[in-house]
Amino acid sequence: MVDTTKPLAHFDDSAQSYEKNTGGCTRELAERILPFLDDVTADSVVLDNACGSGIVTDVLLRHFSAAPPPRIFATDGAPKMVELVRGRFSGDEGVTAAVMPGEALDVADATFTHSVTSLGLMFFADPAKGAAEIYRTLKPGGTAVVTGWEELGYVPIVREVQREIRPADEPFSYPIGADWFDPAHTERVMRAAGFEDVEMRSELVYWADKTAEEVVSFIAEMFGSIAFKDWDDAEKKRAEGVLTQVVKGSTVDIERDGAKWVGIKMKAIVAVCRK
């Protein structure tokens, strides 16, 4: 679970397990934004900002598997994430990875033809400064894509368990400011940074695992220590049964990589910003 008082430390600690813990939804979202980058060519220079484990970089390279890929500059403020990315793409000469917080990109003005900040801006210590850096480092005529979350499907699941076991408890919430779940907030931040052309979109993706039981296990492990931390053993035992029932009623069957998975709906915010 993200500690927003120490987000870089959290992402450093979770580097190796990051993609698994996101249930494929971050990769699915990265694939969904490809149409907004349809003018990327081998001559392009792309920023993968707050790159995490390099999911956006990987999706771009796979997309260009039959053609020369663009140059990709992957940055993150978490050193272990960058170390992972360097190892992951060590054979790709066009990929450069650097430890660099999004609020202080150590590159010249107008460096990138395209810029992607996927699920990162809301965790910046200073999001407004991070947005300004996206604008500063983008070439005139370039495109920046910024994503966030409008709806996290596992939040109402946890809250329903709380209502059943401890209705007086404060409802569970994801530890970022509530304004980040409003697409208009992201639009305001990007316009304040200098972008005049901002197109807001939404994309439906899924956090998923192979079985409903594995989905239950994920939710209990990731959020139970916070939402159910003060519960006694009897309450936690009851919560297991309630959680299983709620998950069964809240998930949908999806197909991923030719196999059947069990998914939780996640609604993403996509801001397509043109300079």
User: Is 195:275 a contact under the CB 8 Å cutoff?
Assistant: yes
Residue 15 has pLDDT above 50, yes or no: no
Range of the domain at 91: 7-274
One-character DSSP codes across 219-262: HHHHHHHHHTTT--HHHHHHHHHHHHHHHHHH-EEEEETTEEEE
pLDDT digits 0-9 by tens, 54-98? 999 999 999 998 889 999 999 999 999 999 999 999 999 999 999
Q: pLDDT for 197-241, tens place per residue?
A: 999 999 999 999 999 999 999 899 888 888 998 999 999 999 999
- The closest alpha carbon to 195, from 79, 273, 126, belongs to 273
Q: Is residue 198 part of a domain?
A: yes
Q: Rounded to whole angstroms, how far apart are CA atoms 40 and 146?
A: 16
Crossing angle of helices 233-250 and 154-165, rounded to 10°: 140
pLDDT band at 257 (very low <50, low <70, confident <90, very high): confident
Residues 169-195 pLDDT 10s: 999 998 899 999 999 999 999 999 999
Contact in structure between 45 and 73 (CB atoms under 8 Å): yes
109, burial (CB in 10 Å: exposed 0-12, middle 13-18, buried 19+)? exposed
β 259-274/95-99 pair status: unpaired
Are 149 and 82 contacting, i.e. CB atoms less than 8 angstroms apart?
no
2 within domain boundaries: no
In whole angstroms, what is the distance from residue 266 CA to residue 117 CA? 18
User: What is the structure's pLDDT at 190?
Assistant: 99
**49 within domain boundaries:** yes
| 189 contacts 126 by C-beta, under 8 angstroms | no
Taking only the tens place, the pLDDT of each residue in 135-157 is: 999 999 999 999 999 999 999 99
Give tens-digit pLDDT for 22-32: 889 999 999 99
Task: Give yes or no for residue 161 having a pLDDT over 90.
Answer: yes
Residue 1 lies in a domain: no
Bridge partners of 72, per DSSP, are 46, 95
CATH number at residue 22: 3.40.50.150
Distance CA 9, CA 174 (A): 17
Q: Rounded distance, CA 149 to CA 176, Å?
A: 10
Total of domains in the chain: 1
Of the candidates 141, 121, 147, the one whose C-alpha atom is nearest the C-alpha of residue 133 is 121
**pLDDT at residue 165 greater than cutoff 50:** yes
Do the domain assignments include residue 111?
A: yes
118 with 26: CB under 8 angstroms? yes
In the predicted structure, residue 46 carries a pLDDT above the cut 60: yes
